[in-house]
Chains A and B, each alone.
Chain A
Amino acid sequence: MAEASLQKKKTGFKIRLEPRLEEPPGWFPLFVSLLAIVIALILGGVVISAVGGDPIRSYQHIARASFGDSGVLSDTIVKATPILLTALACSVAFRMKLWNIGAEGQFIMGAWGASAVVLAPILAEETPRWFFLFVMALAGMLMGAFWGFIPGYLKAKFNVNEIISSLMLNYIAVAWVNFWIFGVWSEGGFQMSPKFPENAWLPRLLEYASAYPAFRGLTTHAGLLLGIAAALIIWLIVYRSRWGYEIRLIGDNPQAANYAGINIAANVIAVMMLSGALAGLGGMSEVSGVVHRLQTSPLAAGYGFTGIIVAWLAKLNPLAIIVVSVFFGALILAGREIQPSGIPKMIQGIILVSLIASDFLLRYRIRITRGEE
């Protein structure tokens, strides 16, 4: 085909773009997404070799360091868990064309809320574990929802651009947590809170190593179950409920939604709160499942931003998000050891760029014709 077009170039082949009149076949969006990832990895490789690295060895390293054996696979899943929840948070908001890019801040506030249960303390140390974790999850979701409520309310009431307000709240959330860990909850002057009692830890696989020896050393924690359950619930809400129908209608055609009598302002606030609650649950799961104390650097590690990319890559489908977050968990896990350290971030950005660019193929078809017309 390429050869033919080269030969006939003189007679004038013409590339034309035509809007697609009918929906492309079902496999096509998936194909385009995969194509975008491949292109992004190639582009990333170009940059890596430009700064003197070896792209193929970098990628091999990423693959080995993230899927090589059950230990690293478990670590990959641990990294994927917060991304899964923040991506779900972004997906519900994006579905309504509500650009919540404050999942990062909502995640951090969720972690703070869950930590407050332990550190304030709201519950005594010897509280039964299930109840402790339940209250922590609830507190995390509440704080996240509150942090989502602010931009939602400002959008509904004053038409304030939610992109910028939610983003500004990210910085405020980090400063808020810093205030607590540098001051009130500081452990002996260090910039972190004391370690939580084990009652406040989400169960990990390694706790069951005595019954199942294969689990020895595996740190995958119950946050994964929270994430998968949340994905299923969000899928049900978005695709199988009246509320989800309203969300999708507002996203696709706000005017029609308005004529249909849907209260858009109330939905803006509700969806921002739902989104914030999901991100907040992610923060709880991370602080209770992995970090086990309140500390800024491991929590404000950009999970909220990665969630944006994952949500988009999964075409906002909650079930696809589960798969895509594992891929990104791998990228982040392996990226920790790669030099220069900005590479995973850069690859994430390039993936998003090529993904948006390739969406063009879903709306247009490229037709190569003889240029006689």
Chain B
Amino acid sequence: MDPIIILQAGVATGTVLLFATIGEILAERSGILNLGVEGMMLIGAMTAFSVTIATGNPWLGLLCAMLAAGLLSQIHAFITITLQADQVVSGLALTFVGTGISLVLGEGLSKAGTVSLLPNFSIPLLSQIPFLGPILFTKQSVLVYIGYLFTPLTWYYINHTRPGLNLRSVGEYPSAADSLGINVFRLRYFYVFVGGMLAGLAGATISLAVAPGWFSELTTAGQGWIAVGLVIFAQWDPVRAMFGSYAFGALRRLILDIQGPTVLLGFDNPFYYNPYWGFFLQMLPYAFTVIVLVIGSREAIRKRLGAPAALGNPYIRGERGK
């Protein structure tokens, strides 16, 4: 129950949610709600693990995971952008398909043994900083470090670059964007693809770094859905998404650690003596997601913030649109 270790592991675990949440933020900012994150993450985790077993090269596994999940996301893009179908149902379908395909192709992978994982290392100097050094910069996976760079970069990209402006315009007011010569359809396809790739990266982060291996549906255990919930809590802002992701990561780690010691806060630890009380701990991430949703939704009502205006609506050229 060392707080440093919990936070250190929490940052690593939270990196999974970070990639998935920011990917979903990018897709939703372009106006496309993709509920298939869980399915895309599973495809990513399965692909990363099996390619790494086959080739011995985790980087190749990572790349294939991102491409596979990106490809899967294009089904959703085609159905919702070109065929203009309901985004909710299509996203659900994507989760079913992703889960199903990864179970079929991942059959037997759980017994496949160990693979070479992505490297862990400490960063000189930075790891010497008191408190933050051991948490953030000591023996973390390379993907965790990529995650640190990732949040400020996407924040800057969305809010302070030309392509980021185009992205926001397509999600807020597609017909205006269209009249300015921005290709709404192509941008939406692109950002759904990016979101898919990031979900694949999130899956690969699980199977190659945070909790190595393939455990069928339990590999993700609903983290894709938590990511969708975090997007709402984050109000479509990558920086808030980062804090949310790491907090959830720390919570997951805390739940594991709290069941270990015999004495907890000076009392006999009920989770140690009656392990089945641990199921209440297992509920916590999901209960917290609901609580976080309530907070995010109340805030949105109060501040009159909200989702990108065109989120969930197909863009139909020539129709009197938003």
Residues of A within 8 A of B (CB): 47, 51, 99, 101, 154, 158-161, 163-165, 167-169, 171-172, 175-176, 178-179, 182-183, 186, 305, 308-309, 312, 339-343, 345-350, 352-353, 355-357, 359-360, 363
Contact = CB atoms under 8 A, between A and B. Distances in A.
B93 interface: yes
Contact of A178 (B95, B229, B232, B276): B276
Contact of B90 (A158, A168, A356): A356
Given A309-B93, A349-B98, 10 more contacts: A158-B297, A164-B232, A165-B293, A171-B222, A175-B279, A182-B275, A183-B276, A342-B99, A342-B101, A356-B89
Contacts of A179: 276-277, 279-280
Contacts, number: 153
A164 B286 CA distance: 10
B104 A340 contact: yes
Interface residues of B, number: 54
Given A167-B225, A168-B289, A349 B100 contact: yes
The secondary-structure label for the interface of chain A is helix
A168 B290 contact: yes
Nearest to A159: B297
Interface in B261-290: 274-277, 279-280, 282-283, 286-287, 289-290
A342 B287 CA distance: 29
B187 to A, nearest CB: 21
A346 B104 CA distance: 8
B294 to A, nearest CB: 5
Contacts of B221: 171
Contact of A346 (B85, B97, B232, B301): B97
B227 to A, nearest CB: 10
A176 B279 contact: yes
Nearest to A181: B276
A342 B110 CA distance: 14
B293 A342 contact: no
A353 B107 contact: no
Interface string B74-88: 010011000111101
B258 to A, nearest CB: 15
Contacts of A348: 96, 100
Contact of B103 (A168, A178, A342): A342
B88 A163 contact: yes
B126 to A, nearest CB: 36
